[in-house]
Amino acid sequence: MLTGSIVALVTPFTRQGNVDYSELEALVNWHVESGTDAIVAVGTTGESTTLTHDEHIDVVRAIAEIADSRIGVIAGNGSNSTAEAVHLTERMAHLNIDGFLNVTPYYNKPSRQGIIAHYQACASASDKPQILYNVPGRTCCDMQPSLVAELAQIDGVVGIKEASGEVSRVSELRQRCGAEFILLSGDDPTATDFMLAGGQGVISVTANVVPAQMKQLVDLAVAGQGDAAQQLDKTLQRLNQMLFIESNPIPVKWALALLGRLQANYRLPLTAPELASQKVIEQALIDAKLL
């Protein structure tokens, strides 16, 4: 359950700012029905940085219980503090989850040795598999393939979510890290090319809005059916772009609200999109024949 079409699930909130577990249950069931292979619970798209540790664990626990092994569950366990990341990992290790997604420490700008020590500590905190997460646009740290290859030697590190958007890295990562190392795209606009180059899936924001279409796209691309995959990808590209018109997950939650899937509630410092962005998101949904 660590490959295929994986949704970076949003975390719904009530108008009062609490986690809306009713809406969360409906979202999980929708993804099960739509064929999504796995859910990333409380990653960046799940507004992990604004949840308390107890809320973080409670949301992962709830998703795992609702999923009930019908769909894979991958828990976000990243932090810019190694101690916090280890703490989260230890507290979630007993849950019915398939593994962890661990973002590179952000803000601190650690050295190469600091990154290695961070992931060694996290991997030692649980026997569940760990997926590295490289997203330089948010962390100011870009894990080059040579470093990823070194991290791949750590027991428990099984793959990477690569969100740099550089498709050319796929072949080098495969060569350096071996055939068993899982390569997942973390960039919706380039995900199809990433998979056609040898990637085994995508951790997708867009899958929140079009889970069935994303599942179909991933299956085509992973099977090497390039023409069909590219044709379907063309129909989703505007949606891919518009869901990042403002900081994620602002646009995707607004889109889901327009589709009636949740209320568009955020935690500060995130707020509703600007009026101009709202209109663009709505038009993208209309163009995709979702509204």
The pLDDT of residue 68 is above 90: yes
- Domain 4-234 class, CATH top level: alpha beta
Answer yes or no: is 14 a known binding residue.
no
What is the amino acid identity at position 95?
Answer: L
Work out the average pLDDT over 57-69: 98
- So what's the pLDDT on residue 165? 92
> Which H or E element spans position 212?
helix 211-222
pLDDT, the chain, mean: 97
Rounded CA separation 8/76 (Å): 10
Rounded CA separation 76/60 (Å): 8
Rounded CA separation 55/228 (Å): 41
What is the pLDDT confidence band of residue 140, given thresholds at 50, 70 and 90? confident
Catalytic residues: 133, 161
Tokens of 215: 């599942």
Residue-range domain boundaries for the chain:
4-234
Asked if 201 contacts 219 with a C-beta cutoff of 8 angstroms, the reply is: no
| 62 burial via Cβ count (<10 Å: 0-12, 13-18, 19+) | middle
Rounded CA separation 88/144 (Å): 26
Asked if 85 contacts 53 with a C-beta cutoff of 8 angstroms, the reply is: no
Asked if 187 contacts 161 with a C-beta cutoff of 8 angstroms, the reply is: no
The pTM of this model reads: 0.96
E strands, the chain, in order: 4-8, 38-41, 72-76, 99-103, 130-134, 157-162, 182-185, 201-204
Asked if 252 contacts 45 with a C-beta cutoff of 8 angstroms, the reply is: yes
| 3-class state of residue 185 by DSSP | strand
Answer yes or no: is 203 a known binding residue.
yes
- So what's the pLDDT on residue 257? 98
The pLDDT of residue 163 is above 90: yes
DSSP letter assigned to residue 201: E
pLDDT in tens, 74-127: 999 999 999 999 999 999 999 999 999 999 999 999 999 999 999 999 999 999
Asked if 236 contacts 213 with a C-beta cutoff of 8 angstroms, the reply is: yes
Asked if 123 contacts 130 with a C-beta cutoff of 8 angstroms, the reply is: yes
Rounded CA separation 104/134 (Å): 6
What is the pLDDT confidence band of residue 1, given thresholds at 50, 70 and 90? confident
The pLDDT of residue 18 is above 90: yes
pLDDT in tens, 190-238: 999 999 999 999 999 999 999 999 999 999 999 999 999 999 999 999 9
